Amino acid sequence: MAHVEKLVGSYRAWASNGASAAPEWLRDLREGGIARFHDLGFPNMKQEAWRFTSVAPIAEGSFELAKPPARVPTLEQLRPFLLFEAGYRLVFVDGFFQASLSTPCFDDIQSLAHVATHRQDLVRQYLGKYAATQDRPFSALNTAFVRDGAFVHVPAKATIAEPIQLLCLSTGDKQAVTHPRNLVVIEREARASIVETYASLGEGPYWTNSVTEIVVGDAARVDYHRVQREHARSYHVAATQTHQGRDSTVNVHTVAFGAALARHDIGAVMAGPGGTLILNGLYLLDGAQHADHHTTIDHAAHHCQSHEYFNGVLDGKSRGVFTGRIIVRPGAQKTDSKQTNNNLLLSPDAHADSQPQLEIYADDVKCTHGSTVGPLDPRALFYLRSRGVGEHEARRLLTYGFAAEILGRMEVAALRAQLDAIVRGRLAEQ
């Protein structure tokens, strides 16, 4: 509790000093956030949503709000985390927008801090309206500290062909916390592709607590990719919330390679009929890493389809947690929902928890789910060896396939290549 009070105290200091110039609606939003966090406190393992994940290292970690970076990284230092140098790009270092490293697009692809004053009406209409804080202390805390992050707005019927790159880089200052807040608004019949990357130049321990809200209009499409490759000593908590209109398409691709402790809540609301959703995720863990993915798909309208695929590759003493909650609301007839979670245990000390949660309140629906936890399939191993592939290589190939299955669904070739190289690098170490 002392740690909660300390965070509330640091909020008060910040709100009365650095953040006091914000417009009133934003200050109200923050006040709501801190009040909520104060009520909720940090989650504990007695709570259903946190059964398998202890946040003690974060709650007891005495984290201080990150300061502007003493030295701005060079483009050269960013290069390993970028897909290409062309196109639109927003770069944040320790939570602070870096204009010199970014290529914004007027007030449509811009720092949230900038548009929160320059396009107040638009930001105010969406910000904080989708990411739940009711029972989400980390999202509430992020909302209390809303200051900056990426803002992407694609006007109706516009298409942005090249992926927009959002890079949240930590310098790895010890005990620093950042609360990146991203807002993506894709208006009706518009289309965009986004690649959001979390990475670090130092080892911390530091803590990232991010929230991304994605609002997708009727018949619009977004391909949203999230790459978490934080330092293995860091802590990463995140919420991604999508909200889609009728006949829209939302493809969410996430990969988690990094952090000592990572928790990612992904929520998707299918608010209009005829929507299509893909949640496609990979977690690749080693050592003592712990990653918890908590997904909630809310079928609130009829004739929507959602496909969810999560694969985990767990080595060392790592632990992967996957919860896949699917709600089919009354009236959401003809829902077609498919969920799979496959976990590959590469070591006897690795562990996976997989729990589907289906709540179905409509009768004319198709919902399937399946999950597996286990070592490499000995039949597949023999199959490969019988073709001349050596045992070690066969193991690597099968493990790679587990990851490649997820990466193969991503349409951005440069991202696939980048992630493929990371996966191959990790497997080569084994």
Residues that bind other proteins (CB under 8 A): 342, 377-380, 382-391, 393-394, 397-398, 400-406, 408
State the DSSP string of 220-248. -EEEEEEEEE--TT-EEEEEEEEEE-TT-
Residue closer to other proteins, measured from CB, 18 or 390? 390
Report the nearest approach of other proteins to the CB of residue 263 (Å).
Answer: 26
Report the nearest approach of other proteins to the CB of residue 344 (Å).
Answer: 10
State the DSSP string of 327-392. EE-TT-TT-EEEEEEEEEE-STT-EEEEEEEEEE--SS-EEEEEEEEES--HHHHHHHHTTT--HH
Tokens of 120: 């107040």
Residue closer to other proteins, measured from CB, 185 or 412? 412
Residue closer to other proteins, measured from CB, 3 or 396? 396
Residue closer to other proteins, measured from CB, 57 or 390? 390
**3-state SS, residue 199:** strand
Report the nearest approach of other proteins to the CB of residue 184 (Å).
Answer: 29
Distances (CA, A) of 196 to 66, 98, 231, 292: 20, 15, 16, 19
Report the nearest approach of other proteins to the CB of residue 153 (Å).
Answer: 36
Q: Say if residues 318 and 290 touch (Cβ distance below 8 Å).
A: yes
Residue closer to other proteins, measured from CB, 102 or 354? 354
Residue closer to other proteins, measured from CB, 233 or 385? 385
Give the 3-state secondary structure of 394-419.
HHHHHHHHHHHHHHCCCCCHHHHHHH
Dist. CA 399–CA 284, nearest whole Å: 10
Tokens of 93: 């270092």
Tokens of 160: 């942005």
Residue closer to other proteins, measured from CB, 37 or 257? 257
Per-position b or e across 39-67, b if 16+ CB within 10 A of its CB: ebebbeeeeebbebbebeebbebebebbe
Report the nearest approach of other proteins to the CB of residue 385 (Å).
Answer: 4
* Cα 232 from chain centroid (whole Å): 17
Residue closer to other proteins, measured from CB, 71 or 387? 387
Residue closer to other proteins, measured from CB, 327 or 394? 394
Dist. CA 199–CA 426, nearest whole Å: 16
Report the nearest approach of other proteins to the CB of residue 405 (Å).
Answer: 3
Dist. CA 430–CA 427, nearest whole Å: 5
Dist. CA 318–CA 291, nearest whole Å: 8
Report the nearest approach of other proteins to the CB of residue 389 (Å).
Answer: 5
Residue closer to other proteins, measured from CB, 100 or 386? 386
Report the nearest approach of other proteins to the CB of residue 202 (Å).
Answer: 33
Q: Say if residues 199 and 169 touch (Cβ distance below 8 Å).
A: yes
Report the nearest approach of other proteins to the CB of residue 324 (Å).
Answer: 18
Report the nearest approach of other proteins to the CB of residue 289 (Å).
Answer: 21
Q: Which residue type is seen at 208? A: T
Report angle CA 395, 396, 399 to the nearest 5 degrees.
85
Strand 109-111 to 336-345 pairing: unpaired
Report the nearest approach of other proteins to the CB of residue 282 (Å).
Answer: 10
Nearest to 245 by CA among 208, 216, 224: 216
Give the residue carrying structure tokens 């893909």.
278
Residue closer to other proteins, measured from CB, 269 or 394? 394
